[in-house]
Structure 1
Amino acid sequence: IKYYIPKAKLIAILRDPAERAYSNYLHLIKQEREPLDFAEALAQEEERIKNNWWSFWHYKHQGLYYVQLKRYYEEFEKSQIKVYLYEDLKNNSLGMLKDMFGFLEIDDTFTPDISEKVRQAPRLPKNKALESFLSQPHPVKSILSPLVPTSLSDKLVNKIRYLNRGKPKLSPAVRKQLIEFYREDILQLQDLIGRDLSQWLKC
């Protein structure tokens, strides 16, 4: 970048690295591309890296922001780099965008439409056996099918499926493990970007 666009302006938006890692994991779970539970996947990460797994499975290492940003600060003037936090986007998205427009030296009087909500975390099955029963052919369903109108059965299945799904939360034990992994990186990062990141260190 420095070679081709020496005056480039760079923007990064950083999320709590533990939450980012878990969100990354849930994304792959939803796509059925991750066979392990989160703790097991974290334990396997070093081995996966050695075996050249794509970086999307590097749940922990993708959140080492200081390591990744430091080289940009070494190559570019600090005035060319703007770092926001996910909390800025979540709590004051319009204010963040206005500030970003100013940084990019474009029309900061423009007010974008921000009515569309950020996509929420995926709702995943609580009971996998029930989800499988609802989704796959089953003798019981074959018996009941002629007795229940299709429109009613579809509504019932969708209702049960919705109730069986939830937004999984990162367990406190795994979060604590991740915070210890990230602690030094977070402390260095907050000095680098001049932001208080103490919330990221809370279990």
Structure 2
Amino acid sequence: MRLQEIDFLIIGATKSATTWLQQSLQQHSAIHMPDPELHYFSRYYERGTDWYTQQFARQPHHRLVGEKSNSYMDTPEAAPRIRRDLPHIRLIAQLRNPVERAYSDYCMLYRRGEVGKDIDQYLDPRLADGGRFLNGGLYYDQLRAFLDLYSSDRLLVLLFENIRTQPQRQLDAVRDFLLLDSELEVPPVTTKVKDKTQPVISPGLRKVLAPLKSIAKPFRQNPVFQAARSVIARELRYPPLSKDLKTRLIDYYAPQVERLGTTTGQDLSAWLSNVVPQRDPAG
């Protein structure tokens, strides 16, 4: 496998259903994508091109080869590295309302026990000082880095919100962008990739049990283990995103959203409406 044989990258954004997009494309007989996110151009570039190309197992019937790594959008070093190694590549960015994206990202880490209940500490622009949750939604700056290196016809910008209403149309746009035969359908994945309503062990108890994680891993599919887990697992109640906090987030992202809308020619005004989600909007 050579670098020149890699045709496209899904570069992000995080918590924008890019796994759904990847799994849908993997159903296409002409497309090959490795399952794990490689994060080569963002985290593992020092491993070299031999390591990277070995992650792909192209078969004779595969016309297109690509990969998905959400970290490419929000890692400043990724764009110039990709341009240097893959000047021919096609890029796909699937974006989501940055306020909902930040909240969904927070809920994911809360679910894992990696952040606490004080949501303002992580999402309030007056307190958080950037960081993972806020910086992940600076789409205009992130895509500008790629558009400074690639022509606009090499970048396809999709919106997460369209998946809910027109999933097939979303995938048809990807199919056309990748120059696949028009008669080939790419059926969308119909089940939730990550269901945030599934019962989980509480963050506090998860921390207590963390030292046993490696020991328990081989037994996760055991009926006795699953029965024991079901006793202590509960659907989480996520810290709510208040209207005041959402207003501050909207004000924080408004300049980025306006510039992005002008650059992509898309109406993104709905992202700046103050409708507060009652639970994590991912799924």
Question: TM-score, normalized by length of structure 2?
Answer: 0.52
Q: CA deviation at 1:115?
A: 2.2
d(CA) in 2 for partners of 1:124, 1:179 = 31
1:101-134 alpha-carbon deviations (Å, 9 max, x no partner): 1101123422325222343335689xx8xx97xx
d(CA) in 1 for partners of 2:163, 2:143 = 19
Q: Which amino acid aligns with 1:95?
A: R
Structure 1 or 2: more helix by fraction: 1
d(CA) in 2 for partners of 1:37, 1:107 = 50
Contact 1:66–1:188 under 8 Å retained in 2:
yes
Aligned residues: 168
d(CA) in 2 for partners of 1:86, 1:186 = 15
1:86 counterpart residue number = 160
In structure 1, the residue corresponding to 2:156 is in which secondary structure?
strand
1:184 counterpart residue number = 255
2:212 counterpart residue number = none
In structure 1, the residue corresponding to 2:94 is in which secondary structure?
strand
Contact 1:39–1:174 under 8 Å retained in 2:
yes
Higher relative contact order (CA 8 A, sep 6+): 1
| CA 74–103 in structure 1, closer or farther in 2 if over 3 Å, else same | same
d(CA) in 2 for partners of 1:85, 1:113 = 15
d(CA) in 2 for partners of 1:179, 1:123 = 29
Contact 2:107–2:238 under 8 Å retained in 1:
no
d(CA) in 2 for partners of 1:111, 1:69 = 26
Following TM superposition, the consecutive aligned residue runs of length 4 or more in structure 1 with deviations greater than 6 angstroms are none
Instruction: Name whichever of 34-43 and 170-179 sits farther off.
Output: 34-43
Contact 1:21–1:60 under 8 Å retained in 2:
yes
| CA 27–196 in structure 1, closer or farther in 2 if over 3 Å, else same | same
Corresponding position: 1:112 with 2:159: no
Q: Which amino acid aligns with 1:14?
A: L
Q: 2:151 aligns with which of 44, 55, 77?
A: 77
d(CA) in 2 for partners of 1:89, 1:122 = 19
Q: CA deviation at 1:171?
A: 1.6
What 5-or-longer segments of structure 2 have no aligned partner? 1-81, 210-226, 275-283
d(CA) in 2 for partners of 1:80, 1:94 = 21
| CA 113–185 in structure 1, closer or farther in 2 if over 3 Å, else same | closer
2:265 counterpart residue number = 194
Q: 1:20 aligns with which of 101, 105, 123?
A: 101
| CA 111–33 in structure 1, closer or farther in 2 if over 3 Å, else same | same
Instruction: Within 5 Å, give how 1:26-45 maps onto structure 2.
Output: 26-43=107-124, 44-45=127-128
d(CA) in 1 for partners of 2:249, 2:121 = 13
d(CA) in 1 for partners of 2:120, 2:199 = 17
Contact 1:30–1:122 under 8 Å retained in 2:
no
Contact 1:12–1:84 under 8 Å retained in 2:
yes
| CA 29–167 in structure 1, closer or farther in 2 if over 3 Å, else same | closer
d(CA) in 1 for partners of 2:173, 2:108 = 30
Question: TM-score, normalized by length of structure 1?
Answer: 0.71
Q: Percent identity?
A: 28
Contact 1:21–1:62 under 8 Å retained in 2:
yes
Contact 2:120–2:245 under 8 Å retained in 1:
yes
Q: What's the Cα RMSD here? A: 2.9
d(CA) in 1 for partners of 2:94, 2:257 = 14
Corresponding position: 1:172 with 2:243: yes
d(CA) in 2 for partners of 1:169, 1:120 = 18
1:47-93 alpha-carbon deviations (Å, 9 max, x no partner): xx6xxxxxxx5211111100111121111111111000111222211
d(CA) in 1 for partners of 2:238, 2:196 = 6
